[in-house]
């Protein structure tokens, strides 16, 4: 099990996650209501920003540049170490460039 801390606008929540569980599934199990849509890595609705730690991910919606910037898809990512991930609609707005307006 790994401790994954979700950094939200209103605070933080730490959830223990098994290495074979998706970060999104674990967040929902813990009662967090995070944005999501396709649940298979084909969109960016569940995007988060990895602040520390390591995840294994197999989604295809992010560009190599977005991945290099630390963005991850929570629906198809599993922890490989303890992590901190910034989540919420603000992250998706930044990813899509909507925060500039």
CA 8 vs CA 11, 42, 59: distances in Å: 5, 23, 23
Give the number of C-alpha atoms closer than 13 A to the C-alpha of residue 36, restricted to the C-beta side.
Answer: 18
pLDDT, greater one: 97 or 1: 1
2-100 fold: Ubiquitin-like (UB roll) (3.10.20)
Checking DSSP bridges between strand 77-79 and strand 71-73, what pairing results, if any? Answer: unpaired
Tens of pLDDT, residues 1-36: 999 999 988 899 999 999 999 999 999 999 999 989
Tens of pLDDT, residues 43-53: 999 999 999 99
Give the 3-state secondary structure of residue 51.
Answer: strand
Res. 89 pLDDT band, cuts 50 70 90: confident
Model's pTM, two decimal places?
Answer: 0.89
d(CA 21, CA 91): 22
Instruction: Please report which helix (H) or strand (E) contains residue 16, including its range.
Output: strand 11-17
């Amino acid at each position: 099990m790994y401790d994954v801390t979700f950094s939200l606008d209103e605070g933080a929540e730490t959830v223990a996650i098994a290495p074979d569980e998706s970060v999104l599934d674990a967040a929902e199990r813990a009662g967090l209501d995070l944005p999501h849509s396709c649940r298979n890595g084909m969109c960016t609705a569940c995007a988060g920003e990895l602040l520390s730690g390591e995840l294994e991910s197999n989604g295809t919606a992010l560009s190599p540049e977005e991945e290099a910037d630390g963005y991850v898809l929570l629906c198809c990512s599993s922890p490989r170490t303890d992590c901190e991930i910034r989540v919420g609609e603000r992250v998706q707005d930044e990813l899509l460039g909507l925060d500039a307006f």
